[in-house]
Amino acid sequence: MNKGGDVRYRETDDVFKTLVSELTSTISPTTIMGLTILAIGLFAYDSLGGMELMLATISGSVASLAKIFVTVAHRRANATKRATVEGAARWEMAHGLLTFVVAASVGSLATAVFTYDDLSVHIFATALIFGYSAGVAIRISVRPFIAATAIMIAGIPTTISAMLYGDTAHWILATLFVAFLVAAMQSVWHVYGTATRQICLRLEMQHQARHDPLTGLRNRTALGEAFMTLGRAENSLTCVHCFDLDGFKSVNDRFGHAVGDELLASIGNRLRENLDQPSIAVRVGGDEFAILQPDVRHPVEADLLARNIVNVLSLPYLIAGEDITIGISLGYTMALSGSAKLEHMMAIADKASYRAKRNGGGIECEFPSKLDLGKSSFAA
């Protein structure tokens, strides 16, 4: 669940971040609403002359402009760095506060208009409330608390003001406001539910496209994407470990493929439990796995990880009432982070892994001939 704000929704962190990012698509409606507030407010002030009308117009226009700037900044932030729950919560708060200011300005402007007797201006106030509530219900419903609160801030004072005008026509209008507010609230939750289901489906498809369904580990596609996001500092190393299981075929032959699948799943669990970020484990296919270990500052770090993985995975597995022990043949290689190429490193690590298997299992390493591991920045 997201932990980024005072209001909690039943959302995973990824769904929360995605829904908040949808707020960056509101530039056009915010611009239109800001111009509408300005036009109707100036017309009302020119017709009626109340200072409260001018104040509501100015605050609504300024808040709309500020919301546009926040939306542009939010969009740029999403484009330049990976979203976090905390960051999304801050953006949600900024959007929410400015939305509430705009809603209060709309409500204040419309409420003030209904205290005057000029029916032509009442028409514009009615159009403003209906237009604003419809826009909020459609474009901000991805954050239902913000949307519902904004509709109430704008709509409830206006409804009361229309009722207090006193004649039958305005009572009917106030009744329509109430009906519209109820319908807008229902629309908010409907749009939110639909958007959430679609995002969940999209995220699930993305997850399936990048993860192995049996072990839950990332697949080769995800490995390539993770490799592309690595830093390229020349004073650090990137390490790739490749390994497969010794005797896995005999496990399948003796106990059946169901036990073999459970063994692979257990290996996936152990890898997740024993790998610290930013290292990631990948199931390449069959009984073949790989580990990407970035930002290595000393070659011994790679050797320690390789030994830890072999030791952990070589411990017995209790599956279907049987203690099953499997061997590991692991090979690894390193390259300067600034010049590392994944496919080339995978090929070298695979070659070292095959050499380890020929020698009866264990660990082998192989490094490019041009790699100088004696450099002080690595060896210090």
> Domains of the chain: which residue ranges?
13-210, 220-379
What do you get for the CA distance between the two ends of the chain, in Å? 42
pLDDT under 50: residue ranges of the chain: 1-8, 376-380
Could you tell me the CATH superfamily of domain 220-379? Reverse transcriptase/Diguanylate cyclase domain (3.30.70.270)
Q: Tell me the C-alpha to C-alpha distance, in Å, between residue 370 and each of 184, 241, 345, 367.
A: 67, 19, 13, 8
Q: Give the pLDDT score at 354.
A: 93
59-94 pLDDT, tens digit each: 999 999 999 999 999 999 988 877 889 999 999 999
pLDDT at 3: 44
What pLDDT does 137 receive?
77
**Inter-residue contact 42 to 121 (CB < 8 Å):** no
Give the separation between CA 76 and CA 80, rounded to whole angstroms. 6
How much is the pLDDT for 371? 65
Q: Would you say the pTM of this structure is higher than 0.75?
A: no
pLDDT of residue 111: 95
Strand-by-strand arrangement of the 362-365 sheet: 280-285, 288-296, 237-246, 327-336, 362-365
Confirm if 145 and 7 have CB atoms less than 8 A apart. Answer: yes
> 250 with 356: CB under 8 angstroms?
no
pLDDT value at residue 233: 65
Could you give the dihedral angle defined by the CA atoms of residues 350, 356, 362 and 366, in that order, rounded to the nearest 10 degrees?
-60
Structure-token pair, residue 151: 């509709």
Alpha helices in the chain (DSSP H): 13-21, 27-48, 51-80, 85-113, 119-139, 144-165, 168-210, 220-228, 248-255, 257-274, 299-313, 342-358, 376-379
pLDDT score at 296: 86
Tell me, what's the pLDDT at 372? 61
Q: What pLDDT shows up at residue 374?
A: 56
